[in-house]
Amino acid sequence: MALARTINQIEQCSLLNALGRVLAKPLIAPHPIPPTDNSAMDGYALRHDDLATQGSTTLPISQRITAGEIPVELATSSAARIFTGAAIPAGADTVIPQEQSHTENSHVTFDTPVSIGQHIRRAGEDIEQGHSFLSAGYRIQPQAMGLIGANGIATIPVFRRLKVALLSTGSELLMPGSALQNGKRYNANHFTLIGLLQALGCEIIDCGTISDTLSATISALKAAATDADLIISSGGVSVGEEDHVKAAIEHLGKLNIWKLNIKPGKPLAFGEVNSTPFFGLPGNPVSLFVTFCLFARPYILRMQGVDQTHPQTIKARAQFNHTKNSTRQEYVRSRLTTAEHGNEVNTSGKQGSGILSSTVWANCLTIIPPNSSITLGDPVEVIPFNELIT
């Protein structure tokens, strides 16, 4: 992640379109939230000192306050009918819920114990005026949109969208909608990557499918580097005679990573094309999905200016056996469920790198360290998909 360069261009974004955008500057509260003391209940606002120390208390109802109204000062020895969210009148220090009262002839009677200050939401108890309530590098979530709106802010400073050039290698690839031909297959990886990039709010530059020649690969990568902040390709990163990505990258720039000690996803290229960062992901559909989620996604988040880039893991109890030791760290497609005694996780059984349906069945990846086995009931570490694809 140290190699990821944050896009530093800042633009203003309307709150309506802010979901998934990354804050470029802290947001400062222009007002306290809530702006005034207000009632947390439908009931009656009064002075606690006006209540009898023993027995019931009956007070006249001097005013009625709804949310949005400006109340007058509370009359001496009276109660104000008040509704949830309405401003507390000057002089009142307590709210009694309507369920704990009885009204008759414009008077209200209370006979339950009451604590001074109860059911009042104080001005600024959520956010104080002048305080930073969202930091730079925060990726806007729906609840944050509500918080920004509560502060009366209509536009926010965000980093511009990351431009990602997307290309596929493989003369055998067809686009969906065309007739299937002998020896051909549909380009599933293209749409997996589009979905993953859209979920990250990227601006996608679709470079299409590149034929399996070195000259075509060099030409496509060179063109992609002129407009994009990042280039991602699928396929062509293995060691076959028709895999030209490695040679093309070394011709145009430099290659920093060529292979990973993980399963699935051993072949992965990372480098630069004319100073534009590049990820060459495997052609096998599951390997592509896993390597994007584990390596390309955190890199993209860092380029977008996000502080927290690595996925959070949770503990679960294995409901499977995995005795085939591997020298590579494995990421097993799994399904996480909540049981009576905690989290449990099971595998799909089909773990081949071409079994794309397993990524739809699964909702997490179970991490199996190198040279280790798992038996039924063992504690394992898992990464939920909501940490990887949103």
Q: pLDDT value at position 238?
A: 63
- The candidate with the shortest Cα–Cα distance to 234, out of 182, 276, 196, is 196
Per the structure block, which two tokens stand in for 190?
Answer: 């293209």
Reduced DSSP (H G I as helix, E B as strand, rest coil) percent helix, strand, coil of the chain, to 5: 20, 35, 45
CA dihedral for 159, 15, 13, 223, sign (positive or negative) = positive
Does the pTM of the predicted model rise above 0.85? yes
Q: Quick check: helix, strand or coil at residue 206?
A: strand
CB 72 within 8 A of CB 63: yes
CB 368 within 8 A of CB 322: yes
* Terminal-residue alpha carbon distance, the chain: 19
Q: Quick check: helix, strand or coil at residue 51?
A: coil
Architecture of domain 163-303: 3-Layer(aba) Sandwich (3.40)
Domain residue limits, the chain: 10-34+125-159, 38-121, 163-303, 314-387
pLDDT at 84 over 80: yes
Q: pLDDT value at position 42?
A: 98
- pLDDT-derived band of residue 372, with 50, 70 and 90 as boundaries? very high
Q: What are the b/e assignments for 191-206, b being 16+ CB within 10 Å?
A: ebbeebbeebbbebbe
CB 95 within 8 A of CB 119: yes
Q: pLDDT value at position 183?
A: 83
**CATH superfamily, with its number, for domain 314-387:** MoeA, C-terminal, domain IV (2.40.340.10)
Q: pLDDT value at position 353?
A: 85
Could you report the per-residue pLDDT of 293-307, keeping only the tens digit for each? 999 999 999 999 998
**Residue that has been written with the tokens 């949770």 in this structure:** 314
Q: Quick check: helix, strand or coil at residue 235?
A: coil
Share of the chain above pLDDT 70, in %: 98
- pLDDT-derived band of residue 1, with 50, 70 and 90 as boundaries? low
> Mean pLDDT over residues 244-273, rounded?
89
Cα–Cα distance between 29 and 12 in angstroms, integer? 17
**CATH superfamily, with its number, for domain 38-121:** Molybdopterin biosynthesis moea protein, domain 3. (2.170.190.11)
Fold observed for domain 10-34+125-159 = Molybdopterin biosynthesis moea protein, domain 2 (3.90.105)
